[in-house]
């Protein structure tokens, strides 16, 4: 059982940047995928980015949703059990609750494949 905790959300003006962090417990001892999802009010949850995190080092290229390509960057620091989401050029459409999630296997775009979820951190982008 791994615990995830998001942080870094807040309210910003459009065009600004924000960095989210997802801290995982040290119980993660196998290769896993960690993803960022978001859910806007009245919308279904959607995947934002995902990255495969081996036990020792980052492997492979991150995968991003089309609506964040060129703006968001996901990265990991396995030694610190932290996955970050750097969000640049934010727009009001990015307003949502952002969640990190873990799959104890290779990455998947389907939320149902992820077994562990954080509580979420709210991101609000004002025009």
Q: Is the pLDDT of residue 55 over 60?
A: no
- Which structure tokens are listed for 52? 């495969």
pLDDT tens readout for residues 3-39: 999 999 999 999 999 999 999 886 565 678 999 999 9
pLDDT digits (tens, 9 = 90+) for 78-122: 677 889 999 999 999 999 999 999 998 889 999 999 999 999 999
């Amino acid at each position: 059982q791994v615990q995830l905790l998001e942080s870094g959300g807040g309210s910003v003006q459009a065009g600004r940047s924000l960095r989210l962090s997802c801290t995982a417990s040290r119980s993660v001892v196998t290769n896993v995928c960690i993803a960022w999802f978001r859910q806007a009010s009245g919308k279904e949850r959607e995947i934002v980015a995902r990255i495969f995190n081996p036990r020792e080092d980052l492997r492979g290229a991150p995968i991003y949703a089309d609506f964040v390509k060129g703006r968001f960057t996901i990265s990991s620091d396995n030694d610190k059990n932290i996955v970050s989401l750097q969000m640049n050029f934010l727009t009001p459409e990015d307003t949502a609750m952002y969640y990190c999630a873990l799959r104890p296997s290779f990455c998947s775009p389907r939320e149902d494949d992820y077994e562990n979820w954080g509580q979420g951190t709210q991101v609000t982008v004002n025009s």
